[in-house]
């Protein structure tokens, strides 16, 4: 069948092909006449083509000829160009010669008329000519003498003008004639005296600056103590100086650029910098004298020395509060210096950018600029100031924190004491102040200092308080009631010594917890603030800052460590001694019940009800006095202790079916209670215990296979096969052979 079908198919295909071929043939035949006509036309065209070829050859020849003549013409044009250039040059020289004549005539009259701009203009024209070429052209022409004479006159006039302008400039400076000063300042470059002009002008500016700065400093020194800005008057004076300098640069930069050309700012700045250095030195010297800095620094280092050797150093200690304002002033001063240096650098860099085009030369100039800035007395004093700041800030931070710890107090119903808020307020203040100094190195150093204070002093104190321990003499309810009664009888509630130590212990524990949060916030906010204050940090600076901030995370680790230490204290002194007898009472209960005993047991107060009640009263005594993290930590420890102890007593007991049933119920309600007591999941901590209960609650030995093995219903076991067998052995109704026969 299939063969036939295929053959039929093949036949159809062939038929189709035949048809197609036939069609095509028909088509060819049809076209024949058309093709014939075409051939006829083409044979007619043939002779025309021959003549076309000849004509094309002619055309090619013509084009060749044209190309040759074009070549010739362009040669001639080149020669002409050359000639024209020479004519131009010649004209230039003639013009120069004529100008020399004109200039030499004009310059004298100009000088006589005191029109120095015009005179200098003539000289400038003369100086802009190629001097050697000028001499050469002079010898080329006939009346040598007149040109040479003109040149001579001009050279004399240049010299004359230079002297006059210098003199006039000096005079204008002496007369404080600002208009004339600027007038002659503009003439210097015309006489090729750029450097001289800038030097003289800058000297003039420096003189002005000195006068103003002197006056400002005097005003500051004479300012009465009652003055509102008395506490920052030196910072103000410094600010005025820098503002004056910046104004000078801003005003005169366009003037210099227009008349002297770009690229001169560096020399202007280097002249100004000398005066700036002198003035800064004066201000800082007065500042140090009036604010008695040396004395304060000496006092601080004295304290440092004494506290490390002996303990009675309280005699002449500097109050950190007194330093507060001074430190503030220093940071302002430092910030101003930083700002001014940045301003100068930016200005000069921009000037270099437009005036120097070769990158190598540019880098050279930038290097020179950095050298100028770094070698300046201003930079040196800035560093000195920062160093001073850091010494004072460190003292301020250490002393303020130790003060905060010293006056530590607790409001009733507060979980933490005042030292936490106070300490972090101080540290945040110091870091913010460091940020306001504008120096990354300063910020990093203060962060480092803060880490040291927190880790050594602050954590040390918390740990010290926890070391006192939590007095274990546990007050049960009746005792507490009696204490309360007697207190009321005495008219006031006076907590006993033990009570005080307990409160102190819990508060120290809470303080550590609260501090971890504070440190985290501190870290985040510091990073944000620094980014705002110093927006264009490069990756290296960023790394530096982050590395220093990571010092704060090790403070957190330290605090967690302190908390852990406190928790262990609680475990040993409170939880363990309480819990053991409560759980051990399980041993006194009959776990092999019959139905009657079961209902009797359930009707009365069961083991787990008592346990929960005890745990509840224990926990509730801590609930309000611990932070939630610490409370959770306590519960964690409590659960650990309860489950471990519970396991132990179970292994010491023997159960029947109903006993196992009861146990399973009790474990469930215990786990339920503790889950509700805390915010995080405790189920995990109960896994072993509930698995033990599950085993003891089995109907028969083989039922274990429902839970054990590699199937969907199986549990993830926390018990080893040996343990499972041991637990099953606790059921008196399970046969040992059955248990041994199990394949686990």
Partner 1 sequence: MEDFKFLFKVVLVGNAGVGKTCLVRRFTQGLFPPGQGATIGVDFMIKTVEVDNEKVKLQIWDTAGQERFRSITQSYYRSAHALILVYDISCQPTFDCLPDWLREIEEYASSKVLRILVGNKIDREDREIPTFVGEDFAARHNMYFLETSAKEAENVEKLFMKIAEDLMQQARNKDLSRYECSTTNITARTSSVNDSSCCSKLT
> Is residue 323 part of the contact set for partner 1 (CB under 8 A)?
no
> Is residue 386 part of the contact set for partner 1 (CB under 8 A)?
yes
DSSP state string for 658-684: HHHHHHHHHHHHHHHHHHHHSSS--HH
Span interacting with partner 1, options 110-118, 319-327, 483-491, 545-553, rule CB under 8 A:
545-553
> Is residue 387 part of the contact set for partner 1 (CB under 8 A)?
yes
Contacts of 202 (CB under 8 A, 6+ apart): 268, 271, 272
Q: What share of the chain is helix, strand, coil (3-state, %, to 5)?
A: 85, 0, 15
Q: Which is nearer to partner 1, 565 or 707 (CB)?
A: 565
The answer to whether 487 and 493 are in contact (CB under 8 A) is yes
> Is residue 461 part of the contact set for partner 1 (CB under 8 A)?
no
> Is residue 600 part of the contact set for partner 1 (CB under 8 A)?
no
Shortest distance in whole angstroms from residue 409 CB to partner 1: 28
Q: Please select the residue that binds partner 1; options are 199, 291, 380, 665, rule is CB under 8 A.
A: 380
The span from the CA of 157 to the CA of 146, in Å, is: 16
Residue 422 CB neighbour total at 10 angstroms: 18
> Is residue 564 part of the contact set for partner 1 (CB under 8 A)?
yes
Burial of 684 (0-12, 13-18, 19+ CB in 10 A): exposed
The span from the CA of 128 to the CA of 699, in Å, is: 118
The span from the CA of 15 to the CA of 22, in Å, is: 11
Q: Which is nearer to partner 1, 414 or 547 (CB)?
A: 547
The answer to whether 677 and 635 are in contact (CB under 8 A) is yes
Beta strands in 23-133 (DSSP E): none
For the chain, helix (H) and strand (E) counts, in that order, are 26, 0
Span interacting with partner 1, options 136-144, 396-404, 536-544, 726-734, rule CB under 8 A:
536-544
Q: Which is nearer to partner 1, 213 or 446 (CB)?
A: 446
Residues 567-596 that bind partner 1 (CB under 8 A): 568
Q: Tokens 């907590």 correspond to what residue? A: 495
Contacts of 546 (CB under 8 A, 6+ apart): 527
Q: Which is nearer to partner 1, 324 or 455 (CB)?
A: 455
Instruction: Give the HSE-up count for residue 138: Cα atoms under 13 Å, Cβ half-sphere.
Output: 19
Q: Which is nearer to partner 1, 256 or 440 (CB)?
A: 440
The answer to whether 466 and 565 are in contact (CB under 8 A) is yes
The span from the CA of 239 to the CA of 331, in Å, is: 12
Span interacting with partner 1, options 19-27, 51-59, 390-398, 725-733, rule CB under 8 A:
390-398
Contacts of 45 (CB under 8 A, 6+ apart): none
The span from the CA of 645 to the CA of 604, in Å, is: 24
> Is residue 449 part of the contact set for partner 1 (CB under 8 A)?
yes
Shortest distance in whole angstroms from residue 648 CB to partner 1: 22
> Is residue 298 part of the contact set for partner 1 (CB under 8 A)?
no
Shortest distance in whole angstroms from residue 315 CB to partner 1: 23
Span interacting with partner 1, options 47-55, 61-69, 451-459, 707-715, rule CB under 8 A:
451-459
Burial of 58 (0-12, 13-18, 19+ CB in 10 A): exposed
Span interacting with partner 1, options 225-233, 506-514, 550-558, 647-655, rule CB under 8 A:
550-558
Q: Which is nearer to partner 1, 566 or 659 (CB)?
A: 566
Q: Please select the residue that binds partner 1; options are 13, 560, 652, 735, rule is CB under 8 A.
A: 560
Contacts of 420 (CB under 8 A, 6+ apart): 511, 514, 515, 518
The partner residues of 731 in beta bridges, in order of sequence, read 655
- Which two three-digit tokens encode residue 327? 């430190």
Contacts of 423 (CB under 8 A, 6+ apart): 401, 404, 405, 454, 458, 515
The span from the CA of 143 to the CA of 652, in Å, is: 137
Shortest distance in whole angstroms from residue 445 CB to partner 1: 4
Shortest distance in whole angstroms from residue 289 CB to partner 1: 20
Q: Please select the residue that binds partner 1; options are 132, 489, 540, 681, rule is CB under 8 A.
A: 540
The span from the CA of 407 to the CA of 410, in Å, is: 10
> Is residue 301 part of the contact set for partner 1 (CB under 8 A)?
no
Cα Rg of the chain (Å, integer): 51
Span interacting with partner 1, options 312-320, 324-332, 555-563, 585-593, rule CB under 8 A:
555-563
Contacts of 226 (CB under 8 A, 6+ apart): none
Span interacting with partner 1, options 27-35, 381-389, 609-617, 699-707, rule CB under 8 A:
381-389
Residues 407-446 that bind partner 1 (CB under 8 A): 439-442, 444-446
Q: Which is nearer to partner 1, 202 or 397 (CB)?
A: 397
The span from the CA of 239 to the CA of 340, in Å, is: 9
Q: Please select the residue that binds partner 1; options are 352, 372, 555, 635, rule is CB under 8 A.
A: 555
Q: What is the DSSP letter of 655?
A: B
Burial of 311 (0-12, 13-18, 19+ CB in 10 A): exposed
Q: Which is nearer to partner 1, 177 or 441 (CB)?
A: 441
Shortest distance in whole angstroms from residue 451 CB to partner 1: 7
Q: Which is nearer to partner 1, 132 or 310 (CB)?
A: 310
Q: Please select the residue that binds partner 1; options are 103, 110, 390, 698, rule is CB under 8 A.
A: 390
Q: Which is nearer to partner 1, 392 or 670 (CB)?
A: 392
Shortest distance in whole angstroms from residue 719 CB to partner 1: 24
> Is residue 62 part of the contact set for partner 1 (CB under 8 A)?
no
> Is residue 217 part of the contact set for partner 1 (CB under 8 A)?
no
Among the listed residues 142, 132, 140, 134, the one whose alpha carbon sits nearest the alpha carbon of residue 104: 134
Q: Tokens 């362009």 correspond to what residue? A: 74
Q: Please select the residue that binds partner 1; options are 374, 498, 610, 620, rule is CB under 8 A.
A: 374
> Is residue 384 part of the contact set for partner 1 (CB under 8 A)?
yes
> Is residue 277 part of the contact set for partner 1 (CB under 8 A)?
no
Q: Please select the residue that binds partner 1; options are 90, 557, 572, 732, rule is CB under 8 A.
A: 557
> Is residue 383 part of the contact set for partner 1 (CB under 8 A)?
yes
> Is residue 684 part of the contact set for partner 1 (CB under 8 A)?
no
- Which two three-digit tokens encode residue 682? 């405790």
> Is residue 337 part of the contact set for partner 1 (CB under 8 A)?
no
> Is residue 113 part of the contact set for partner 1 (CB under 8 A)?
no
Report the phi/psi class of residue 604: left, alpha or beta, with left for phi > 0 and alpha for psi in -120 to 50.
beta
Q: Please select the residue that binds partner 1; options are 216, 511, 516, 558, rule is CB under 8 A.
A: 558
Q: Please select the residue that binds partner 1; options are 176, 243, 561, 733, rule is CB under 8 A.
A: 561
Span interacting with partner 1, options 133-141, 356-364, 448-456, 484-492, rule CB under 8 A:
448-456
Among the listed residues 388, 160, 374, 200, the one whose alpha carbon sits nearest the alpha carbon of residue 294: 388
Helices (H), 261-319: 265-290, 293-309
Span interacting with partner 1, options 101-109, 207-215, 367-375, 593-601, rule CB under 8 A:
367-375
The span from the CA of 700 to the CA of 88, in Å, is: 123
The span from the CA of 637 to the CA of 646, in Å, is: 14
> Is residue 553 part of the contact set for partner 1 (CB under 8 A)?
yes
Shortest distance in whole angstroms from residue 290 CB to partner 1: 22
Residues 715-744 that bind partner 1 (CB under 8 A): none
> Is residue 281 part of the contact set for partner 1 (CB under 8 A)?
no
Q: Please select the residue that binds partner 1; options are 131, 554, 599, 617, rule is CB under 8 A.
A: 554
Contact footprint for partner 1 (CB under 8 A): 370-371, 374, 380, 383-384, 386-387, 390-391, 394, 439-442, 444-446, 448-449, 451-452, 455, 540, 543-544, 547, 550-551, 553-555, 557-558, 560-561, 564-565, 568
């Amino acid at each position: 069948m299939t063969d036939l079908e295929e053959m039929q198919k093949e036949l159809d295909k062939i038929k189709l092909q035949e048809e197609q071929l036939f069609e095509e043939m028909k088509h060819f035949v049809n076209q024949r006449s058309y093709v014939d006509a075409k051939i006829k036309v083409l044979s007619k065209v043939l002779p025309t083509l021959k003549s076309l070829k000849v004509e094309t050859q002619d055309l090619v020849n013509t084009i060749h000829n044209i190309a040759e003549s074009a070549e010739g013409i362009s040669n001639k044009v080149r020669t002409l160009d050359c000639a024209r250039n020479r004519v131009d040059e010649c004209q230039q020289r003639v013009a120069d010669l004529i100008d020399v004549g004109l200039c030499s005539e004009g310059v004298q009259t100009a000088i006589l008329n005191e029109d120095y701009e015009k005179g200098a203009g003539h000289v400038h024209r003369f100086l802009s000519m190629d001097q050697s070429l000028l001499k050469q052209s002079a010898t080329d022409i006939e009346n040598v003498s007149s040109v040479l004479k003109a040149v001579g006159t001009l050279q004399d006039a240049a010299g004359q003008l230079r002297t006059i302008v210098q003199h006039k400039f000096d005079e204008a400076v002496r007369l404080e004639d600002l208009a004339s000063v600027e007038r002659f300042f503009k003439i210097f470059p015309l006489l090729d005296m750029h450097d001289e002009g800038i030097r003289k002008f800058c000297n003039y500016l420096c003189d002005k600056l000195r006068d103003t700065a002197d006056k400002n400093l005097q005003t500051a020194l004479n300012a009465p103590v009652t003055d509102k800005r008395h506490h920052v008057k030196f910072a103000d004076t410094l600010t005025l100086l820098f503002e004056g300098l910046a104004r000078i640069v801003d005003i005169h930069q366009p003037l210099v650029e227009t008349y002297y050309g770009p690229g001169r700012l560096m020399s202007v700045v280097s002249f100004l910098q000398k005066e700036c250095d002198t003035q800064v030195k004066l201000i800082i010297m007065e500042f140090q004298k009036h604010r008695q800095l040396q004395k304060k620094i000496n006092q601080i280092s004295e304290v440092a020395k004494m506290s490390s050797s002996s303990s009675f150093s309280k005699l002449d200690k500097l109050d950190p509060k007194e330093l507060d304002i001074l430190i503030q002033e220093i940071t302002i001063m430092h910030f101003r210096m930083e700002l001014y240096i940045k301003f100068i650098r930016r200005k000069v860099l921009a000037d270099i950018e437009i005036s120097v085009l070769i990158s190598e030369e540019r880098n050279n100039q930038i290097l020179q600029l950095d050298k100028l800035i770094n070698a300046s007395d201003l930079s040196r004093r800035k560093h000195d100031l920062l160093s001073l700041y850091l010494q004072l800030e460190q003292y301020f931070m250490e002393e303020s924190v130790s003060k905060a710890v010293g006056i530590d107090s607790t409001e009733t119903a507060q979980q933490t004491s005042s030292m936490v808020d106070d300490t972090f307020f101080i540290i945040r203040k110091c870091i913010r102040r460091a940020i306001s100094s504008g120096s990354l190195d300063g910020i990093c150093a203060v962060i480092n200092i803060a880490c040291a204070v927190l880790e050594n002093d602050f954590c040390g104190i918390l740990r010290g308080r926890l070391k006192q321990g939590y007095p274990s003499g546990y007050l049960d309810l009746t005792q507490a009631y009696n204490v309360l009664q007697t207190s009321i009888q005495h008219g006031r509630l006076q907590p006993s010594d033990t009570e005080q130590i307990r409160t102190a212990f819990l508060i120290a524990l809470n303080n550590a917890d609260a501090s971890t949060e504070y440190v985290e916030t501190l870290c985040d906010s510091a990073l944000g603030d620094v980014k705002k204050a110093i927006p264009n940090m490069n990756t290296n600076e960023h790394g530096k800052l982050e590395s220093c901030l990571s010092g704060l995370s090790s403070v957190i680790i330290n605090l967690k460590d302190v908390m852990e230490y406190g928790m262990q204290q609680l475990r040993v002194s409170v939880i363990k001694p309480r819990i053991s007898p409560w759980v051990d009472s399980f041993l006194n209960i009959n776990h092999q019940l019959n139905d009657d005993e079961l209902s009797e047991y359930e009707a009365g107060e069961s083991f787990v009800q008592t346990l929960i009640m005890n745990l509840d009263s224990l926990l509730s005594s801590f609930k309000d006095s611990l932070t939630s993290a610490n409370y959770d930590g306590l519960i964690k420890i409590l659960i650990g202790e309860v489950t471990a102890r519970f396991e132990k007593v179970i292994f010491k007991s023997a159960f029947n079916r109903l006993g196992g049933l009861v146990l399973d119920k009790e474990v469930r309600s215990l786990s339920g209670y503790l889950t509700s007591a805390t915010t995080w999941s405790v189920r995990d901590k109960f896994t072993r215990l509930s698995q033990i209960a599950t085993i003891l609650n089995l109907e028969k030995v083989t039922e274990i296979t429902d839970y054990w093995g590699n199937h969907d219903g199986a549990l993830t076991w926390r018990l080893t096969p040996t343990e499972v067998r041991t637990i099953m052995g606790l059921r008196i109704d399970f046969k040992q052979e059955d248990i041994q026969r199990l394949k686990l």
